[in-house]
Amino acid sequence: MTSPAEVRAACRAGHDLPTSGLAPGYTQANLVVLPRDWAYDMLLFAQRNPQPVPLLDVTDAGSPRTALAPDADLRTDLPRYRVWRDGELAGEPTDVRDLWTGDLVAFLVGCSFTFETALLDAGVPVRNIEQGRNVSMYRTNRPCRPAGRLSGPLVVSMRPVPGELVPTAVQVTARMPQVHGAPVHVGAPASLGIADLAAPDFGDPVRAADGDVPVFWACGVTPQAALMASRPPFAITHAPGHMFVTDVPDAAHRRP
């Protein structure tokens, strides 16, 4: 499946597919859906924490439509969702039409899958793709700037990068601030409060090659960590690795 519309049609038909590598060259997005009463806190949380929460679009309350893919339906077109009640995981359905009300606002947040294509184009190997695994993600000891009732730790994704290519990886991703931008940290996981790289909090462990250095980027799972910490009565998100595939080319996020 090479077009975003094909991927979304497959999801709508009930296929449950991790989206890494699908519709290459098109932007993928994290999803967070909250009641209108919590939407202001989420919007402010994003404004105050733009590196982990780069907003690509926010829907009108009740609408399942987004400017990122005008023919898509956010209630059916992701492969798998997570439903949260009072900050606890309450289900992982493949369709949320029965849960959608006129009170819900959807936030679409940039995803680092988008810059993986740019890294590969620049000759930087992406170990999680080579190994066919989800990227490793970790809660850090760095708090996000709180917004109203929402607070929580910065979550990072980690990619092992050959030491001589770290400067390239920094420069390539710095040009893409809408999908997390430059790394937040290089090389010393303990100073982020990460005790064991082999035990990620989200996603899969990824093996480093000899000479690889761990490079950490702000991660779009940060809002999920804030939901778990702040416990809104109801929320829907994508399931990790099961992103919304948009019609927006990756290149739209690369600045000159």
12-22: b (≥16 Cβ within 10 Å) or e: beeeebbbbeb
- Which residues would be at the binding site for a second copy (CB under 8 A)? 39-40, 43-44, 46-48, 55, 58, 60, 148, 174, 255-256
CB of 123 to a second copy, least distance (A): 21
Going from the C-alpha of 248 to that of each of 122, 144, 194, 254, the distances in angstroms are 21, 28, 34, 12
- Min dist. Cβ of residue 174 to a second copy (A): 7
CB nearer to a second copy: give 45 or 113.
Answer: 45
Minimum distance of a second copy from residue 100's CB (angstroms): 19
Nearer to a second copy, 174 or 199 (CB): 174
> SS3 of 149, please?
coil
Of the candidates 73, 68, 66, 83, the one whose C-alpha atom is nearest the C-alpha of residue 9 is 73
Q: Which is nearer to a second copy, 177 or 189 (CB)?
A: 177
Between 164 and 255, CB nearer to a second copy: 255
Quick one: how far is CA 58 from the chain centroid? 15
The minimum distance between CB 114 and a second copy, in angstroms, equals 18
* Comparison of 17 and 55: residue with beta carbon closer to a second copy: 55
Q: Which residues pair with 111 in a beta bridge?
A: none
CB of 12 to a second copy, least distance (A): 27
Phi-psi region for residue 25, left (φ > 0), alpha (ψ -120 to 50) or beta?
A: left
